[in-house]
Structure 1
C-alpha cells in the first residue's frame, strides 16, 4: 500500500534520526589524541635472513625497511653489499605492506666525499648514479647515510655543509619527480655536535630526516649509556625548532657496547648482551640516570662494562619524544632488538 505524503515525511525523519543515533553511538576519536606512532628499521646485510624474518613478524607496525645494502665508492660508483637488491626480500616486504627504502652509506677517505659534493658536476653525477640504483629494483626511495664529512675541519665545514644541503635538494627533488621518497640520516645535533648538517635545509628537502639517537657513549670513548631521556630532550628541542616534527624520525638503539679499559670494545646486540648477562648469572639492573640496562663482569683478569638498550630503556625515552611531537621512530637494527620493544612502540 502506498504511503501518504505525510507518512513519507515522518518515515524519512525517523530514518535520519536513527542514522544520527547510530553515528553518535560509535566510539569517537578525541581531537586531542595524537596520531599513531610509526616504526621503521634498518635491515643489516650481515644478518639478512634474520632481519627479514623479524620485519615480517612485525609488518603491521613497520612503515619502512631500509636494507643496509649499498656503499658509495665514488661519484659514479655505488657497490652492493652481499645480498643487495634481493628481489625475494623486496617483493616480500612490499607484499607485507612495507616500503623498501635501501640505505647507501660510504667510507671514503678523508676529504673525498667533500670533493664530490662541493663540485657541482661531480655532485650531479653522483645524484644520477643514486637514481640508477633506485630505478634498478623498483625501490620506494633511498636513504642516504653519509658520515665521513662529519669531522670536517673548521676551515672547510661551512662549505661542505652548504654542499651537502645542495646535494640533498638536488637528490630529493629528482626523487620526488619520480614519486619516490628521500630519506636523510644524520647524526644528533646539540650545542657541540652535528654541526656539519644544515638541519633546516635538510628538513625542507627530505620526506624524513633520521636522527641517529645512539652512541652518546661509543666504542671509541669511555663506557656509558648509548642514550638517555635527558640527551633526547636536548637533541629534539633543537631539531624541532628547525625541522617539522612529522618529518623527523628518531633512531633508537637495539644494541650496546662491551668495554674494557685499554682493550678492544665489542659490539653486542640486545640478544647477545642478555645472553651474556644470563650466562654470567648477573642480576638485571637499570642505570637510574639514563634508565638503560648495564652490568659488569670479569674476563682475563679485567673488568668489562656492558651498556645496552632494551624495552624498558625505550619506554623511558618515549615520553620525551611525545613531548616534542615526534611520532616516527626507527630501529638500528632489525633482528638486534628486545622483542618486548614492539608492544612498547605500539603504544600511542
Structure 2
C-alpha cells in the first residue's frame, strides 16, 4: 500500500520569510501525518509570535539622555521613541542636534523598532509657530517630505506624533492622513501620544484609526496644577478609565498602549510641587519600589506596574513608559517589571513587613502607602502594605526612625495545596483577605481573637497568591505559593 506525499515547499508557500518554522530540507517528501504534525507545530509558533507582537513595550527616551543608553535595557522593548524632534522655519527637523544613528543601530541589534517622536508637550515658541504654519494644506506636503528625509537619513522605523492640546487645530487630521499615506508608501509606522481620557475635537475618526497604535498618557491626573489637592497622579482606576474611554471612541483594543509614568509628583510644599524620578526614590530607600506613596509623593511602584501590565495584557495592545531615563537601573527597574510580567517570568518575591501608616518624619518618611485602588483590592482605607526585598528589620527601623509592627497570625502550610489554615493569636479580631496575583479577591472575612479558620483551595490553579491581615491601621501581607 502506497503512502500519500505532499511537496513541503508548496505547503509552506506564502509563509512570511521572518517566521520561524520547522526545519524541512529542500525538495524532501514527507508522509501526510508527519507533515500535519509539523504544520500544527508551525501554526503554534506563528500564534506565539503574533501574541508576543500584540504586547508591545514602548519606551520614550529624550535625546538629552542618549548618553544613558548603556544603563537602559533596550532589549526589553519592542519600540523605542526618541523624544523630541521639532522643525525650524523651513521645516527641517532636529532632535537637539543629536546624532541618532548610534541609538538606532544599537536598538536594531536587539530587533527593537525606533521611531522619532515629533513636537512634545513643552515646545519653544518658535517651534509652536513653525508647527502652526507647517500643518496648513499649502505647506504640509513639503514638510512631510522633510520628515521622510529625516526618517531615511537616521534609518528610523517610523514617526510618533506628539502634538498636544493647543497645537491640535483644524489642520491636524488632514496632516495626519497625508503623513500616513507617505509613511505607508515606505513601509513605516505612524503612532501618536494622546491623553488618557480626552479625544481632541480636531482628531477625526479616519485620522484616529490611521495610527498603527496610540500611546495613552494615563497619568498627570494631579500635579502642580492641583497643588491644593494632592493625590495619586496615575492610579489604577485611571488606567481602566483610559482604556474604556478610547474603546468607546471606536479605537481597537490592540491599538491601545497603556502609559505608565516613571516619575511622581511631590506635594510636600504646596507652593512648589515638583517632579521626582522613580529611580531617585528607590535610591533613597529600595523599599519604596513596592509602594505608590511616600509621604506626599505619589507615583507608581512595582505592584501597581504589575497590575497595569496585567490589565494591558488582557484589554490592550501593550505598555508605554515615560520616560526611560527616570527608571531605576537595578533589580527594581519598572521596565524589567513590565517585561517580566508580559513574558510570564514574574517579579522577584518581596519579603513582607508591617508599618504604621501614620509614621512621622520628613517628606520621605511621613507615610508609606499602597493605593487601595490598585487592582480593585477590597482593602479598607488605611490598609497599607509595604513589601521590601532583602532588608534586615533593624535597617528599616534605622532608616525610618520608627518601630516595625507584627501581627500574631499563622498561615499554614506554605506552599499549600488543598487548604489553608489561618490562626489568629491576637486579642483582637483581624480582617483577612486572600487575592490572586492580579489582586482579585478570593476570600475575605473577619477572624475572631484566638480562633482558627480553614479555606478550601483545591480548585485554585498553581501560582502565587497574596494573603493580608489587617487590624486598625496595621496590615501584614504574605505571598503564598499553591503547588
TM interval, shorter chain, is: 0.7 to 0.9
Instruction: State which of 181, 184, 188 in structure 2 corresponds to 1:180.
Output: 188
Matched residue, 1:138: 155
Residue 293 of structure 2 is matched in structure 1 by 294
Deviation at 1:268, TM superposition (A): 1.8
Residue 328, structure 1, aligned to residue 345, structure 2: no
Specify which structure has the higher proportion of helix: 1
Structure 1 position 40 matched with structure 2 position 58? yes
Q: Report if the CA contact (8 A) 2:116-2:156 is conserved.
A: yes
Shift of 1:263: 2.6
* Match status 1:252 vs 2:298: no
Equivalent positions of 1:114-263 (< 5 A) are 115-116=132-133, 119-149=136-166, 160=169, 162-189=170-197, 193-196=198-201, 198=203, 200-222=205-227, 223-241=230-248, 242-263=250-271
How do 1:90-105 residues align onto structure 2 when only pairs under 5 Å count? 90-105=104-119
**What is the rounded CA distance, in whole Å, between the counterparts of 1:206 and 1:317 in structure 2?**
23
Q: 1:343 aligns with which of 340, 343, 356?
A: 340
- Other structure's SS at 2:86 match: strand
Within the candidate set 67, 73, 79, 1:64 is matched to: 79
Q: CA deviation at 1:74?
A: 4.3
1:79-90 aligned at under 5 Å gives the runs 79-82=94-97, 84-90=98-104
> Contact between 1:273 and 1:306, CA under 8 Å: does it hold in 2?
no
Question: Is the 8 Å Cα contact of residues 59 and 79 (structure 2) preserved in structure 1?
Answer: yes
Is residue 67–residue 101 contact of structure 1 (8 Å, CA) maintained in 2?
Answer: yes
Aligned residues: 307
Instruction: Report the Cα distance in structure 1 between the residues aligned to 2:133 and 2:322, rounded to whole angstroms.
Output: 28
Q: 1:33 to 1:80 in 2, by over 3 A?
A: closer
Residues 1:219 and 1:34: Cα distance change in structure 2 (over 3 Å): farther
CA contact (8 A) 2:91 2:130 kept: no
Task: Report the Cα offset of residue 132 of structure 1.
Answer: 2.4
- Of the structure 1 ranges 314-323 and 95-104, higher mean CA displacement relative to structure 2 is found in 314-323
- Once residues 263 and 284 of structure 1 are traced to their aligned partners in structure 2, the CA distance between those partners, rounded to angstroms, is 25
User: Contact 1:117 / 1:163 at 8 angstroms: preserved in 2?
Assistant: no
Q: CA deviation at 1:16?
A: 5.5
Equivalent residues of 2:196, 2:216 under 8 A apart: yes
d(CA) in 1 for partners of 2:67 and 2:150? 22
Runs of 5+ consecutive residues of structure 1 not aligned to the other structure? 1-5, 153-159, 287-291, 297-304
Q: Which has the larger radius of gyration?
A: 2
SS across alignment from 2:171: helix
256, 274, 298: which one aligns with 1:266: 274
> Conserved in 2, the CA contact under 8 Å of 1:71 and 1:105?
yes
Q: Partner of 2:362 in structure 1?
A: none
After TM superposition, the score normalised by the length of structure 2 is 0.55
Spell out, residue by residue over 1:111-138, the C-alpha distance to the aligned partner (whole angstroms, 9 max, x if none).
7467436631133343233222212212
- CA-atom RMSD in angstroms: 3.6
Distance in 2, Cα, partners of 1:180 & 1:142:
8
Q: Classify the secondary structure of the residue corresponding to 1:227.
A: coil
Q: Find the aligned partners of 1:75 and 1:243 in 2 and give their Cα distance.
A: 34
TM-score, length basis structure 1: 0.74
Distance 2:159 2:33 in 1: 52
CA contact (8 A) 2:257 2:312 kept: no
Which residue among 88, 93, 110 is the counterpart of 1:78? 93
What is the CA deviation profile of residues 196-243 of structure 1, one whole-angstrom value per residue up to 9, with x for unaligned ones?
462633332211211112212123323322212221221111212321
